[in-house]
Structure 1
Amino acid sequence: MKRLDDHAVGRLVRRLAERPPGEFHFPEIYGAGWDDLYVGDKVRLGRDFLTMVRAGRLPGVEDTGRKRAGGRIYRWRGR
């Protein structure tokens, strides 16, 4: 099963830095390959991301506590 290792986290941080501030769904920053993942892997990666956000490991990212279009909405405040 896929997990968010240090390499993947670094990629997510770089992708976030390229974005303007605003709301997003996790698959938007995961990028290419998201649609090719098994459902279980998507769930695990999404849970890992939420845990990291709540733990403050991704400065500038907030969990809005809302869901839309089948996914949790996050807010990127920018750097």
Structure 2
Amino acid sequence: GTWRALAKKKIPYFIFTHGMLDPWFKKNYPLKHLKKWLYWTWGEYRVLRDAKAVLFTCEEEKILARQSFWLYKANEVVTAFGTA
């Protein structure tokens, strides 16, 4: 809902994934990943694609995110939020 509202008004938004794109789930829970894949292609893909930026806490997290879903495409930014 938020994605639709912001897209209509052309308001930029940022997303912190908080590990949702970690390929660990794909490897260790393949059935859960399949279920997630069905939802992801329908809903989350567009939300990430249209975001002004997808924020990550480190370079490794950013690189790993690219392995989760083959459609994944986003403007990726590594930020220092949450780290000292």
TM above 0.5: no
TM-score, structure 2 length as denominator? 0.35
TM-score normalized by the length of structure 1? 0.36
Bigger share in strand: 1
The structure with more radius of gyration: 2
Higher relative contact order, chain-length normalized (CA < 8 Å, sep 6+): 1
